Structure 1
Amino acid sequence: MTNHNPTAISRMKKDYLRLQKDPIPYITAEPLPTNLLEWHYVVKGPENSPYQGGYYHGTILFPNEFPFKPPSIYILTPNGRFKTKKPLCLNITDYHPITWNPTWSVDTILTGLLSFMLEEIPTMGSMESSLYEKQQFAKKSLEFNLKNSQFCELFPQLCDEIKVQLEADKKCNNNEFVGRPEEDSTGDDFDLSENNKNSNLDSSSYCKWHSIYSYLTEILIYAIFALIVNYVIKNLD
C-alpha cells in the first residue's frame, strides 16, 4: 500500500464507509485488506429476474490514479449474462475513459453494473443465453462460490446464508422423494397391480368393440353404395 496514491486510498476509505452506512440493494462489496484498490463484490439475483436465487462474485480493480481514471470490472461466477474473468465494457469502466466522471463513487459503479446486468444490451464481455440457462446458472452459483476460498474469507455471512439455502433445498428434495407413491406399502403396490390388470382388461374390451364397430360401419357403407347404384340404373332405364 506504500506505493499507492494517497488520494486514491483516501477516496476508497470514504466510499467504503458510505457503503457501510447506506448499503446498495442486492449488492455486497469488500476491499481486500491487503489492497484497498482491489474490491470484491457479490450480486444477489433480484426477485422476478432470471438471476433470482443466484450469487454472483466479481472484482473491481481500481487504478492508482482513481478517481481520475475508471476501474476494470470482472465477474467470476458463471451467470449467462457476462463472460467470466473477462473485462466488461461499460461506460463506468476503463473501456470508456472519455465518459468517466471522477465524481462517480464505488456505489455508483456497482449500481450501474447491476442495472446493466438486468438488461439484454450486448457489449464486449457479454454473452447470450436462454432464460432457462440463466436460472440453472443461478442454482449452481451457490456451490460454485463456496469452493472459492477468497469468497468465503471476504463474505462469511453470505457463505452461511448459502449453506442454509442449500440445506433447505436438500430437505425439500428429500421430502418430495419420500412423498412419492413408490415409497408406499406393499398393499398399495398390490392395488396398483390390480389397477394395471383392470386397465389391461378395459383396453382389450375396447379393442374388440372397436373391431366390431369398424366391421359394421363397412357393411353399412357398402349397402348405401349399392342402393345409390341401383337407383341410378333404374333412372337410366
Structure 2
Amino acid sequence: MAAKLCLRRLQKEMRAYHDAPPAYCPCVHVDESDIHVWYFVLEGPPSTPYHLGTYVGKLVFPSNYPFAPPAISMLTPSGRFATQTRLCLSMSDFHPESWNPLWSVASIVQGVLSFMVQDDVTTGAVETTEEEKLNLARGSLEHCQTNGLTRNLFPEYYKERAVAVEKQRSAEKEDGCGDATTTDIDTYADIVKAAAAVRTAAAKGEASVALRQLAASLQIESDDAISADTLAEAIKRVPGQDEAVSSAAAEAYLCLGDLDAASCVAPQGNGSDERNADATMTSDDDDDDDASCARRWNASIDNFIASGPTTTRAWLSEVARLKEEANAKYAAKDYDAAISAFENAVAYCPIYSALYSNMAAAFALSKKHAEAVAACDVALRLNPSYEKAQQRRAISQKKLGT
C-alpha cells in the first residue's frame, strides 16, 4: 500500500514540477528505471557567490514517501557542499522527526537552495572562500556538461543555460558589474531568517512584530499596518525562496485574524492542497471542560508550528469555506452546531485567531462562558491586540464573576 501511495505521489509531483518549477530551480529529471531517484538543477541567485552558477543535485525517495524524507546530495562542486555526500538538512533523511508529509519536491529543492546561500554548518557542508565559490560558479555549467554523472541528465537545458549565462555575463560587463559580487548576501540571509522567525512568532503572540521584521528584511518601509499587496510584490523578488517566505507571511496574517491578507500573500504552490485535520489535534483529553479545550487548541497550534510550512491558496480557500460554514450556523442561531463547526475549522487551521474569537461568541450565547474565555485566551495568544477577543473575554468573565 505504501509503495503504491509513493508511486502516485511522485507521479503527481513530477507533473506539478514540470508545469510550474520554482524560481532558480528550473527542472528535474526522474530516473527512467527507478522513479524513486530524481535529479534537480539549482541556478545561483543574484547577489550571492553562486550567481550564474549551475548545480545538479540528487534526491532518493524511500518506498514509504511521503511519510519519510528523501536522501539529498549534490553532484556539482559549489564550495558549499561536498559532492556525492548525503546532506544533513531538516527536510532530508537525517531528520525524519522533523519531516512533514505535506512538503513537496518543490519545497525540498527550494529548501536546499535556501540552505546553500546561508553559511550554517552541517554534515555534508564544506568551508571555502568567497573567491573559491565564485570560481566554482564560473566553471559549474561546464562541469555539468562534462561530468559522467550529470552530462546526460539535462542536455537541452544545458544548451539553453549556456546561452543565457553568456548573455547575462556580457550585460554585466557592459554595466561594469563584473561577476555580481556578494554585497547583498547578508540581506538575502536576513530575508530567509526573518521568514523562519515568522513561524515561531505565533507561539509568542508576536506575529505583527515578525511581519514588520520580514518587511524590513525586504526593504519595505512601513508603520504598524503592512500592506499585503506591497509585501506580496516584494516577496516575488526573493530568489529561490519566494514560496516559503509567502507561506510564512500568510501564516502571520492568519495569526492576526486577516484571512484576506493571508490569501493575498500566499504562494501559488504545488504542494498538497489537502490537510489532515486530525494531524493537529491531540487525543489525550476526551472531556469537554474549558481547561481541556484550551490544552487541545494550544497543542494544535504548537504541532502546526513545528510541522513546517504548508500554506497554499487552495488550503486557505478551504479555511475560508469552513469559517463561512460555521458562521452560517451561528447566524442561524444553531450555536451547538456552530461550535462543532468552529472546532472542525480550528483543527484544520489552528493558527487562525478569528476562528477562536467567533467560536467564543457561540460559546457565550450557549451560556458556556468558561469555554468562551478559554477560546478568547487562545485567540489572544495568537494576537494579543485582537480587540473583539478582548471584548468577548471581558463579557464572559463578567458573567462568570471573575
Structure-2 separation of matches of 1:168 and 1:69: 41
Structure-1 separation of matches of 2:149 and 2:76: 13
Letter in 2 for 1:7: L
Secondary structure of the 2:55 match is strand
Residue matched to 1:84: 83
Letter in 1 for 2:79: G
Q: How much does 1:29 deviate?
A: 1.4
Q: How much does 1:148 deviate?
A: 3.0
Letter in 2 for 1:49: T
Residue matched to 1:182: none
Deviations 1:143-197 (A, max 9, x none): 111113553433122221244368779x99xxxxxxxxxxxxxxxxxxxxxxxxx
Secondary structure of the 2:57 match is strand
Of the structure 1 ranges 29-38 and 150-159, higher mean CA displacement relative to structure 2 is found in 150-159
Q: How much does 1:77 deviate?
A: 0.6
Structure-2 separation of matches of 1:114 and 1:166: 19
Structure-2 separation of matches of 1:91 and 1:166: 31
| Count, aligned residues | 170
Residue matched to 2:20: 22
Secondary structure of the 1:153 match is coil
Residue matched to 1:8: 6
Letter in 1 for 2:77: P
Residue matched to 1:48: 47
Letter in 1 for 2:5: T
Letter in 1 for 2:31: L
Residue matched to 2:150: 151
Q: Which runs of 5+ in 1 are unaligned?
A: 173-237
Secondary structure of the 2:30 match is strand
Residue matched to 2:296: none
Equivalent residues in 2 for 1:22-171, closer than 5 Å: 22-27=20-25, 28-149=27-148, 151-164=150-163
Q: Relative to structure 1, is the Cα distance of residues 69 and 124 closer, same or farther in structure 2, using a 3 angstrom cutoff?
A: same
Structure-2 separation of matches of 1:106 and 1:162: 22
Letter in 1 for 2:34: N
Structure-2 separation of matches of 1:164 and 1:25: 18
Secondary structure of the 1:154 match is coil
Deviations 1:26-62 (A, max 9, x none): 1121211221110001101111111011110110000
Q: Relative to structure 1, is the Cα distance of residues 44 and 167 closer, same or farther in structure 2, using a 3 angstrom cutoff?
A: closer
Q: Which runs of 4+ in 1 moved over 4 A?
A: 165-169
Deviations 1:184-220 (A, max 9, x none): xxxxxxxxxxxxxxxxxxxxxxxxxxxxxxxxxxxxx
Structure-1 separation of matches of 2:151 and 2:158: 6
Q: How much does 1:22 deviate?
A: 1.6
Structure-1 separation of matches of 2:106 and 2:121: 23
Q: Relative to structure 1, is the Cα distance of residues 145 and 7 closer, same or farther in structure 2, using a 3 angstrom cutoff?
A: same
RMSD in angstroms over aligned alpha carbons?
2.5
Structure-1 separation of matches of 2:124 and 2:141: 23
Letter in 1 for 2:15: L
Letter in 2 for 1:113: V
Residue matched to 1:208: none
Structure-2 separation of matches of 1:109 and 1:167: 29
Q: How much does 1:21 deviate?
A: 2.0
The structure where strand makes up a greater share of residues is 1
- TM-score normalized by the length of structure 1: 0.66
Residue matched to 1:178: none
Contact 2:52 2:165 (C-alpha < 8 Å) held by counterparts: no
Structure-1 separation of matches of 2:132 and 2:43: 17
Q: How much does 1:87 deviate?
A: 0.3
